[in-house]
Amino acid sequence: MILGKLSDWPSAKKTKWLLIISIILIVIVYPFMAYFTMASKYPVDFMTSQLSFSSATLKAHYAVTVIDFYRVTQSLDYIFMLGYGMLAFSLGLIIGRKFEEDSKWRTSGYIISIFGIIAASCDAIENGFILAMLTDPFGFPDIWAVTHSVFALIKYILLISCIGWAIVASVLRIIKK
């Protein structure tokens, strides 16, 4: 089984380092993203924007946005993605490996770790569409807004699944002790 390889790869030591590095990346890059987002004067929160499925809505947002600053935010987001992707991957493995071999909880931990990577990958594709839209913020094809939102929706579903699983699995492990 392909997921079975995750029982020993990466090693426990490397997985802990991935967790530490992911937290450091997130903590370092997030304030810069927040600064450039505020400086860009983007008019709504990211979830509202990312799940708009509407080019008219995005074009209205871009009309009041300082595009160069917003572009910096979207570029920095690639580092943030790396951080949260590694965080979800390593947490899924660390928590999942605490359950018995061949248990559904251990297997689900391996699946969740993969979800973290897929979520970050969807976010990268989504950001690619944002950056493409920013090259012509008032004339980009309508389908780009829809495609961007589809990848954002998949990302959010996967991330919420990762967070929910980590909470439930952690509580279950505490109760089992």
How much is the pTM? 0.94
Question: Is residue 31 scored above 80 in pLDDT?
Answer: yes
Q: Give the pLDDT band of residue 177 (cuts 50, 70, 90).
A: confident
Alpha-carbon distances of 148 from 93, 133, 134, 139, 157, rounded to whole Å: 29, 10, 12, 15, 14
Go through the chain and tell me how many residues it has.
Answer: 177
pLDDT of residue 3: 85
Which tokens sit at 155? 């990302």
Could you read off the pLDDT of 114-160 as tens digits, one per residue? Answer: 999 999 999 999 999 999 999 999 999 999 999 999 999 999 999 99
Average pLDDT over the chain, rounded to an integer: 96
| Contact (CB, 8 A) for 125 and 78 | no
Question: Is residue 1 scored above 70 in pLDDT?
Answer: no
